[in-house]
Structure 1
């Protein structure tokens, strides 16, 4: 029914504008607006919901970034556009995110359609074009996360499906590692996944950080300090990395270095979590 309504809307638009499909920026804007317009699909941004396919998203009148990308790609391609999923690692504000938007080639330009940010041409800073297969892997990853505390067997099967689709995706490997460690208490399997994530992307700071956390929890503070330092070298702006490095240096008795790192943390993020406790610990 949704696609039939879309076809009728397209026919009306073409009749009014007398332009061929897939060649006009105004048509792309019209489709982008139609998705959220009460006279169109009337979809709204809704976070923290189970991952949905196209039909489920339409039936439930909304979803998050992957749902909107499924809908936009379906409609834009149906209208003759070249549309594709795009991974966003750093958004237009400079924040690190795990986010999906819709890429569009029109009139010799590449645009980034992002209803979550309310932008027809979002200016995100770090993006990677995905294949449909890679995007489908994210769908199964999100389905697995939905099963985190519901069914271990279902989560495991869904992670396997995601990694079959995209076996070298460091983010999915990291997510499965977190699930192995935190939901299943299987530290060996978690370490295997975190290390696999680093083999897939040696510059993936999150994997260094989580390996550091495992070393810290095991009382191997020198190894933990090395991991946190590696994470900071790759992404100095993450206050979690520096905070945990401070705690590790304190555990090692390296108070001068702990205080130096604390001064850097205060400069970097005056509202960082746990500053008062860190000051008490290191005597700053």
Structure 2
């Protein structure tokens, strides 16, 4: 169903909001936090929270080159989020439980009053999915986007030091150079995997083989829904566990099926 707010489609309004958020977030991180920022917008055809080979948010960014931030942008009208989707929320909550730094982000100002002329990161509120509050967000409990960005670097789940470890997984060799456009849901799940430290303890060659194995495996969804997402999430976890087991307990005579541990295309 197409949602209209003040005569405009909410999709158009949220796209405009996402661009404003990206601009102001980048300015804050680079000028106030003195860190590099790169933001990547997922195109409509590339965003599907149920498909691990696509993007799980409207905006994917990196802070300081080693810390990811994923934002699902929603427009707040009055005290509600008209485009809130419960099915999407289930999937984003599961990504949060798997340590992926995904947040809802919405305008902290009243749309009908108008956008303030001095819009900055303090004009937007953000929260993890578990603390959203549904279609009527618990705004009084939510931090400004600037504070969320700072907390992602200084503390919280998968702190800065762990992020360095996780990035090392993808930068394990020169031809696996990390790129922002590669930060699909699959990539983020690998970066923030519960097995992250185990992966990083593998030697250089073993870690490279593991990353290539996960790169090669496709987790394409048959439909856009949380049930399909959970099936793909379990498939991802099973594939990762099997790949780790294969590397830790190698067969002296690998079969042809093990060839994927040696070469594969990128994410």
TM range (shorter): 0.3 to 0.5
Normalised TM-score (structure 1) = 0.32
Q: Which has the higher contact order (CA 8 A, sep 6+)?
A: 2
Normalized per residue, the structure richer in helix is: 1
Normalised TM-score (structure 2) = 0.33
